[in-house]
Structure 1
Amino acid sequence: MTSHYFIATMRPISEFHEKENNAPFISGEAYKEELPFTMPYVYEVGGDNIEFISFLDDFMQLGDVVEQYIYEEGRNGIALSENFPEEAITINLLNKTYKDQFGEYQLDSKKWKEDLSRRTIASKRSVTTFMKS
C-alpha cells in the first residue's frame, strides 16, 4: 500500500520550488481524476505537519483556500481511500480555528502551529480545507 499526500490550490505554487524551501512539491496531475478536489492545481506534498503548516501560513493570502487529501493505493492501483464529506475538516489559519464533525475548536493564538500539528489535519476519508479568511 502506498500513501500519497496531495494538496489542491487556486494558484500555482511554482515560486516555492526553490532550494531554500524545505517542503517538496511534485505535480499531482497524474492522480487528478482520482482525487475529490475542487481546485485546479494539484501537488503531491512531503514533509512533516509543522513544516507543512508553516508553508501554508506563508503561501496563503487573505481569502485563499487549499484542500488536502491522502490518497492510498492498494494492489494494482485500486484506491483504498474514500471521500466522506460529513467527516471533512476545516482549518482557518487567520482565525486559528479547527472544525471537524464533532465541533469547532479555537487554537492557542501563540502556539497554534504546534497545537494544529498534533491534530488530524489530513485524512484518507475526507478532504481537509485550509482557509485564510
Structure 2
Amino acid sequence: MTAHYFIATCRPIPEYHKSENKYPFLSGEAYKELLPFSLPYVYELGGEDIEFLSFLDSFMGVGDIVEQYIYEEGRHGYPLSHNYPEESRTINLYRKTYKDQYGEYKLDNKNWKEELARRTIASKRSVTTFIND
C-alpha cells in the first residue's frame, strides 16, 4: 500500500517551478483523474504538517483556496481511498477555524499551527479545504 498526499490550488505554486524549491512538491498530474479535486493545479507533497501549514500561511492570499486529499493505492493499483463529502473538513486560515462533521472550532490565534497540526487535517475519506477569507 502506498499513500500519496496531494493538494490542488487555484493558481500555480511559484516555488515549485524554481530550482531552489524548499518545499517538497512533485507534479500530481498523473493522478489528476483519480482525485476528487475541483481546482486545476495538482501537486503531490511530502513533509510534516507543520511545514505544510507554514507554506499555506505564506502562499495563500485573501480569497485563495487549497484542497488536500490522501490517495492510497492498494495492490495492483486499485484505490483504497474514497470520497465521503459529509466527512470533509474546512480550515479557515484567516479566521483560524477548523470545521468538520461534528462542528466548528476556534483555533488559538498565536499557536494555531501547532494546534492544527495535532488535529486530523488530511484524510483518505474526504477532501480538506483550506480557505483564507
State TM-score, norm by structure 2. Answer: 0.96
Identity of aligned residues (%): 71
2:9 aligns with: 9
CA contact (8 A) 1:66 1:131 kept: yes
- Is 1:87–2:87 an aligned residue pair? yes
**Aligned length in residues:** 133
Question: Which runs of 5 or more residues in structure 1 are unaligned?
Answer: none
CA contact (8 A) 2:15 2:21 kept: no
Distance 1:50-1:19 versus aligned 2 partners, 3 A rule: farther
State TM-score, norm by structure 1. Answer: 0.96
C-alpha separation in 1, matches of 2:17 and 2:46: 13
Q: 1:45 Cα deviation (Å)?
A: 0.5
* 1:69-119 Cα shifts (integer Å, max 9, x gaps): 000000011000000000000000000000000000000001000000000
C-alpha separation in 2, matches of 1:15 and 1:101: 33
| 1:73-84 correspondence runs (5 A) | 73-84=73-84
CA contact (8 A) 1:17 1:25 kept: no
Taking only aligned residues, the RMSD between alpha carbons, in angstroms, comes to: 1.1
CA contact (8 A) 1:17 1:24 kept: no
1:55 aligns with: 55
Letter in 1 for 2:77: G
